[in-house]
């Protein structure tokens, strides 16, 4: 079993290497796929004029920019991301009331008790030690400060993410599969686990709401197949495969997606949690602060 330090180093290397590059290259498509879910999260976060906000795992900074518009010039947003290339892209927004920092949100020295709101769109599932990370995040919040994030539910509930990979797998070299609690896209699928993490980290008033959407994957199967392997688990599998095997894998993906091609594109079900919680003051859980 890998140590927390090894898992954290792996995530940092991934998001500063192929993960960050792939995310940037595919970002317009990604935004089309997840933009609406992000809007649900932003509207639940309800950032107000004058508030101080952190955007965790802010990536290219689109949600940071939306939060900055909401808090106005009397407020401020800090976008934090472990990926230098993504923070470089985020800085191009040139926002007057937001700053961006390259850093691990699990250990970043946030100003304690300063923030009204911590938000994240799919940026909190990659911590090697999630309790320690959320404790660090909780310390940044004012007492009763809000935590609002969206995270994917289980792989079984997210065929948009699993169907192409499963179809391709038989033709590709075997991959080491992450455990359900290893840092990764689907590591927050189990609600009970997320509840345990947040309570242990000093949050209360937990609210979980499911968000279920058909996730746009491309305008056509041909387009999805052309982009397959540019990002995520398939990119890792394609990297070690012969060209002929990749071709067979792509054919298998095309076959499994064909029934889902409709006039408005290829869509498969996706499922997220919208999670809301409040920071409890230290005295409410002295053993855990």
Ligand X SMILES: C[S@@+](CC[C@H](N)C(=O)[O-])C[C@H]1O[C@@H](n2cnc3c(N)ncnc32)[C@H](O)[C@@H]1O
CB 12 within 8 A of CB 87: no
From candidates 37, 44, 51, 59, binder to ligand X by CB under 6 A = 59
DSSP labels for 84-125? HHHHHHHHTT--TTEEEEES-TTT--PPTT-EEEEEEES-SS
Rule CB under 6 A: choose which of 44, 82, 117, 237 binds ligand X.
Answer: 82
Minimum CB separation of residue 82 from ligand X in Å reads 4
Site for ligand X in 122-151 (CB under 6 A): 122-123, 126-127
Judged by CB under 6 A, which of 22, 57, 232, 233 binds ligand X?
Answer: 57
Figure out which of the listed residues 86, 90, 148, 271 binds ligand X, where binding follows CB under 6 A. Answer: 86
Q: How many residues bind ligand X (CB under 6 A)?
A: 20
Query: Distance between CA atoms of 1 and 287, rounded to whole angstroms?
Result: 28
- Interaction between residue 105 and ligand X (CB under 6 A): yes
CB of 261 to ligand X, least distance (A): 26
Compute the least distance from the CB of residue 183 to ligand X, in Å.
Answer: 7
Host H or E run for residue 152: strand 141-152
Closest approach, Cβ 93 to ligand X, in A, equals: 12
In the complex, minimum distance from the CB of residue 13 to ligand X, in angstroms, rounded to a whole number: 11
33 binds ligand X (CB under 6 A): no
Judged by CB under 6 A, the residue of 45, 53, 58, 221 near ligand X is 58
DSSP 5-65: HHHHHHHHHHHHTHHHHHHHHTHHHHHHHHHHHHHHHHHHH---TT-EEEEET-TTSHHHH
Closest approach, Cβ 205 to ligand X, in A, equals 23
First to last CA, the chain: 28
Asked whether the CA dihedral 257, 260, 265, 268 is positive or negative, the reply is: negative
80 binds ligand X (CB under 6 A): yes
**Residue 208 corresponds to which tokens in the numbers above?**
């979980």
Q: Does 121 bind ligand X (CB under 6 A)?
A: yes
Binding residues for ligand X, rule: CB under 6 A, are 11, 15, 57-60, 63, 80-83, 86, 104-106, 121-123, 126-127
């Amino acid at each position: 079993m890998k140590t927390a330090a090894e898992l954290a180093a792996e995530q940092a290397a991934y998001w500063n290497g192929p993960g960050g590059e792939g995310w940037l290259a595919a970002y317009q498509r990604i935004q089309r796929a997840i933009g609406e879910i992000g809007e649900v999260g932003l509207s639940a976060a309800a950032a107000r004029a004058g508030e101080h906000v952190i955007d965790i795992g802010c990536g290219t900074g689109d949600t940071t920019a939306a939060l900055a518009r909401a808090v106005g010039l009397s407020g401020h947003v800090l976008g934090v991301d472990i990926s230098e290339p993504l923070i470089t892209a985020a800085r191009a927004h040139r926002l007057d009331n937001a700053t961006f920092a390259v850093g691990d949100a699990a250990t970043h020295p946030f100003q304690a008790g300063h923030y009204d709101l911590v938000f994240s769109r799919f940026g909190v599932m990659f911590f090697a030690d999630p309790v320690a990370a959320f404790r660090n995040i909780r310390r940044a919040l004012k007492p009763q400060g809000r935590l609002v994030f969206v995270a994917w539910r289980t792989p079984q509930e997210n065929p948009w993410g699993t169907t192409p990979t499963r179809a391709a797998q038989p033709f590709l070299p075997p991959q080491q599969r992450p455990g359900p609690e290893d840092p990764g896209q689907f590591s927050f699928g189990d609600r009970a686990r997320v509840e345990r993490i947040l309570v242990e980290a000093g949050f209360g008033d937990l609210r979980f709401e499911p968000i279920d959407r058909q996730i746009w994957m491309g305008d056509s199967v041909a387009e999805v197949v052309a982009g397959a392997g540019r990002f995520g688990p398939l990119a890792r599998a394609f990297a070690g495969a012969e060209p002929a095997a990749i071709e067979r894998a792509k054919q298998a993906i095309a076959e499994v997606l064909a029934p889902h091609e409709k006039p408005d594109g290829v869509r498969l079900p996706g499922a997220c949690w919208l999670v809301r919680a409040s920071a409890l003051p230290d005295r409410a859980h002295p053993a855990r602060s």
